[in-house]
Amino acid sequence: MYTVAAVAKDASRFDLNRSVVCRGLSQQAARPLMAISSLHRKAPGEILFAEVDEADGIYEVFRGIVRLYKLLPDGRRLITAFLSAGHLLGLAMGGGVCVFTAEAITDVTLCRYKRMAFERLLDEVPGLAKRLLAVTSDELCATQERMLLLGRKSAVEKVASFLVLMAGQQGDDADEVAIPMTRSDIADYLGLTISTVSRTLTKLIRQRVIAIPTANLIEIRDRDDLEQLAAGEADADL
């Protein structure tokens, strides 16, 4: 574990100015946040925190991808989000405990802020409360989009939407999209079976919308068609 202040001196590791929490704040305003923060690294498969753990931290992803999930009473897993650089996690809690499990998919670097100190700083650091409101508003929009994804879209529309989402996280003009999560992860996120995800990807390949050169890389060959499928504006039956 390292302090953010120490690591920030090494620009090859990460640029503190890119922090979603500190963005737009002056160096003087950001200094108290740095004082309550620490840098953490997790390897693929490591748990950052588990459901019902004490919610004593707020985390910001600097590098890598984290999956958030809940286990249903019957043992099924529901993945609620894939979070990459610039996303916050740990804001939501119930009765002082975590409401989901956070697990690293890739090598992950995160910044942890002490929750109680962070909450105090919301009243003390100029601009911090407004910045956090902007971040949580974005997360609320993403949650609403996911409700639409699960409730109203067909399998093809769901998979297309997922690919558009992942492409957007890696750059709006990205033609090659890294997909480090498993097909099981994708299925648990979209509310589909693994076989349905695989069949749908095969359909998209057959129609030359995408190509899959390796298991963890998807090439977008026709972005317009992919976005139209995601929006329900094209023939979802292909």
Spell out the per-residue pLDDT of the chain, length 238, in tens.
434 444 344 333 434 566 888 887 888 888 888 889 889 999 999 999 998 888 899 999 999 999 999 988 888 899 988 998 888 888 876 678 888 999 999 999 999 999 999 989 988 888 888 888 877 777 777 666 767 767 678 899 999 989 988 888 777 666 889 999 999 999 999 989 999 999 999 999 999 999 999 989 999 999 999 999 988 876 655 4
Question: Do 39 and 142 belong together in one domain?
Answer: yes
Which CATH number belongs to the domain containing residue 19 in this structure? 2.60.120.10
What CATH number does the domain containing 217 carry?
1.10.10.10
Would you say residue 237 lies in a domain? Answer: no
Can you give the three-state secondary structure of the chain, one letter per residue?
CECHHHHCCCCCCCCHHHCCCCCCCCHHHHHHHHHCEEEEEECCCCEEECCCCECCEEEEEEECCEEEEEECCCCCEEEEEEECCCCEECCCEECCEECCEEEECCCEEEEEEEHHHHHHHHHHCCCHHHHHHHHHHHHHHHHHHHHHHHHHCCHHHHHHHHHHHHHHHCCCCCCEEECCCCHHHHHHHHCCCHHHHHHHHHHHHHCCCEEEEECCEEEECCHHHHHHHHCCCCCCCC
- Rg for the chain (alpha carbons), in Å? 19
Q: Is residue 25 part of a domain?
A: yes
Domain count, the chain: 2
Burial of 133 from C-beta contacts in 10 A (0-12 / 13-18 / 19+): exposed
User: Are 25 and 64 found together in one domain?
Assistant: yes
Sheet with strand 101-104: strands edge to edge? 47-49, 101-104, 66-71, 77-83
Residue 238 is assigned to a structural domain of this protein: no
Residues 65 and 181 in one domain: no
Query: What pLDDT score does 41 carry?
Result: 94
Do 133 and 159 have their domain in common?
A: no
116 and 216 housed in the same domain: no
Position 6 scores a pLDDT of 41
Same domain for 112 and 208, yes or no, is: no
Assigned domain for 102 exists? yes
| Cα 211 to Cα 166: distance, rounded to the nearest angstrom | 15
Contact 109, 62 (CB under 8 A): yes
Q: Which domain holds residue 204?
A: 153-230
98 and 134 share one domain = yes
**Residue 184, in any domain of the structure:** yes
Q: Which of 148, 171, 199 is the last residue of a domain?
A: 148
pLDDT of residue 8: 40
- Kindly state whether residue 13 falls inside one of the protein's structural domains: yes
Are 71 and 170 part of one and the same domain?
no
In this structure, are 123 and 204 located in the same domain?
A: no
